[in-house]
Chain A
């Protein structure tokens, strides 16, 4: 079963890597130094793009394409709000779309039709806005968001992610693994609080997360894609998970449940960022 999942994951990653190559790597749509939150960061839900800081930076077209939609104002004609006051969609070759949300409404270049890489599309939200301008990469053929990091020029990053805590959760009771050496036998969810520092210094999401129990990989998620089917939000291209089950209410990552049998159990959590910097925490506990 786990081999099948790993194989499916590998195929999905390969497919997305192929897409990245065929999509002719995008340019950063804003100053990469203002990249605040990455794909997967809990921002009242799983962030499906990259959020930039404010300070009135320019938002640029990530690639050549054609603007298919631009809206500014508080809402669409049917009343649906436009969070951030603006929305732009640009169609690119190979069925790729880039979507820009939350640009300052009075700055949006809605007159553009054909867009060249680097064209100014608008300015990011003014300082003080609750949410900065957000950039999304969307594969219209597969109808899923792609982690923009896969499509962008790589950033220099030598800082590994941080694992704040790993807890076991059963029926609402939590046990932090760094504060306890023994738990009762049973089926547990793992609640993982991990982040990777973004260029702007915020707690952003990691790219790859693995859980090993007694040296055996029990779970691996790669922050590569997010999609929806029949009204349900799903995450990741390989071992897909429902967003509701993956993100706990406080933003921690929830995996499992895993059955822990009596005896000594070694639990390892390994987290990597997109530049392959890795952090691993190992806990040894007694299951009674």
Chain B
């Protein structure tokens, strides 16, 4: 009796060892190389002119933190830093300087080297995806401008916008009454769509892919939905959707990644990862009130800048949801941007760069 029992125990131990060995040999995955953040430079910045560099060089990077804005280059050369209450709209190609002339309510559109491009007569100009727009003063309309500051079109929405995004060939506004309206490059209506499916309609967040072929939106209350629309011929159709557990009644960040395949969206338990075709439903365990994301196309590593209260961190991951590492940033960090595998961070008085390297 005791011998049989001993055999059974020995057999069980052997079986466990075999299963463990099988797991390692059959389901083996190569270990991902360790990702290290290598500091490249850190500089103190102050309001005033810096070292002039050729603005035609695409290396001029826009910087904005609180009331301060300016330009610097990849190697840490500062072109200038300026300060104005409320800050200034700024992009890599141009920025807007509030005209101070008496009776003037407009802005001067300027190049990073301070050359004036044009005067812009708008109360609320802003940049999205590097494109210049202005908002109507009651939040129900948008005007688009070209790089020379010429107004291209104005579009009126039926009510106030609660979300907005622009791709290269498509601009989309989401309204407080729960509609998405797309604007084509000529300023005409590209589509109009109400996601519906919830007790109360509202658009809480949206993003348009860089190509303009995908739109992702978080909409509705009771129940909230993530809806992805894809371009189908001349129209947009629902590609995938899922109901959410959230009950947000505030702006919700949604990002269509530059791989044109994955969507990141804010969830109470982290950042959700969804694929445009609905085949991926993952979660990054990163709690954030707001975030931004970019992919290093050379390595396939994605980077996330996540903000929660006054805390910020950078999270490196592989899509869909494999976490590679995270770095906490100082409380006074107000500026984060990515370019390839480089991260640029800063505050009102400092800028720094570090590069992510796989070792």
User: What's the Cα separation between A89 and B201 when bound, in Å?
Assistant: 11
Q: Are B159 and A99 closer than 8 Å at their CB atoms? A: yes
For B181, the closest partner residue in chain A by CB is A231
Q: Is the CB of A143 within 8 A of B158?
A: yes
Are B166 and A99 within 8 A (Cβ)?
A: no
- Asked if A77 meets B163 with Cβ closer than 8 Å, knowing A43-B137, A44-B137, A45-B137, the reply is yes
The bracket for how many chain A residues form the interface is: 35 or more
Q: Please judge, given known A-B contacts A79-B128, A80-B164, A110-B250, whether A231 and B183 are in contact too, CB under 8 Å.
A: yes
1/0 contact string of A35-68 vs chain B (CB within 8 Å): 0000000011101110000000000000000111
Kindly state whether residue B135 has any CB partner on chain A within 8 Å: yes
Q: Are B249 and A113 in contact (CB under 8 A)?
A: yes
Asked whether B306 is an interface residue with its Cβ less than 8 Å from the other chain, the reply is no
Identify A69's interface contact among B126, B128, B249, CB under 8 A: B249
Q: Is A81 on the interface with B (CB-CB < 8 A)?
A: yes
CB < 8 Å neighbour of B250 from A70, A99, A227: A70
CA distance A97 to B138 in the complex (A): 16
Whether the Cβ atoms of B128 and A80 lie closer than 8 Å is yes
Is B176 close to A, CB under 8 A? Answer: yes
Would you call A228 and B202 a contact (CB within 8 A)? no
Given that A69-B176, A80-B161, A87-B162 are known contacts, is A230 also in contact with B137, CB under 8 Å in the complex? no
| Smallest beta-carbon distance A232→chain B, Å | 6
Are A228 and B136 in touch, CB under 8 angstroms? no
Closest-by-CB residue of B relative to A134 is B138
List of A residues within 8 angstroms of B59 by Cβ: none
How distant is the Cα of A151 from the Cα of B297 in the complex, in angstroms?
56
CB-CB under 8 A for A83 and B124, given A74-B86, A101-B138, A143-B177: yes
- Please name the residue on chain A nearest to B203 by beta carbon: A69
Tell me if B250 and A231 are in contact (CB < 8 A): no
Establish whether residues B250 and A69, one from each chain, have CB atoms under 8 Å apart when the complex forms.
Answer: yes
Please pick, from B138, B177, B204, B250, the residue contacting A140 in the complex, using a CB distance under 8 A.
Answer: B177
Q: In the complex, what's the smallest C-beta–C-beta distance from B73 to chain A, in angstroms?
A: 24
Contact of A68 with B200 in the complex, beta carbons under 8 Å? yes
Q: Is the CB of A71 within 8 A of B250?
A: yes
A144 contacts the other chain (Cβ, under 8 Å)?
yes
Q: Specify which chain B residues have a CB less than 8 angstroms from the CB of A87 in the assembled complex.
A: 139, 160, 162, 176
Distance of A49 Cα from B138 Cα, bound (Å) = 9
User: Which partner residue on chain A sits nearest B159 by CB separation?
Assistant: A138
Q: Complex formed: what's the CA distance from A83 to B126 in Å?
A: 12
Residues of B within 8 A of A47 (CB): 138
CA distance A224 to B275 in the complex (A): 45
Q: Which residues of B contact A145 (CB under 8 A)?
A: 159
Chain B neighbourhood of A231, CB < 8 A: 154-157, 181, 183, 187-189
Q: Is B50 an interface residue (CB 8 A)?
A: no
Closest to B126 in A: A79
Cβ A83 vs Cβ B139 within 8 A: yes
A-B pairs with beta carbons under 8 Å apart, 9 shown: A45-B138, A49-B138, A77-B205, A78-B128, A80-B133, A80-B135, A81-B135, A87-B139, A232-B156
Beyond known contacts A69-B176, A77-B205: 9 more, CB 8 A cutoff = A79-B128, A79-B164, A80-B133, A99-B160, A136-B160, A138-B177, A228-B140, A233-B141, A233-B156
- A residues within 8 Å of B by Cβ? 43-45, 47-49, 66-71, 74-83, 87, 89, 91, 97, 99, 101, 110, 113, 131, 134, 136, 138, 140, 143-145, 227-233, 243
Across the A-B interface, give the 8 residue pairs with the lowest CB-CB distance, nearest first: A80-B164, A233-B156, A78-B164, A228-B156, A89-B176, A231-B155, A79-B128, A81-B124
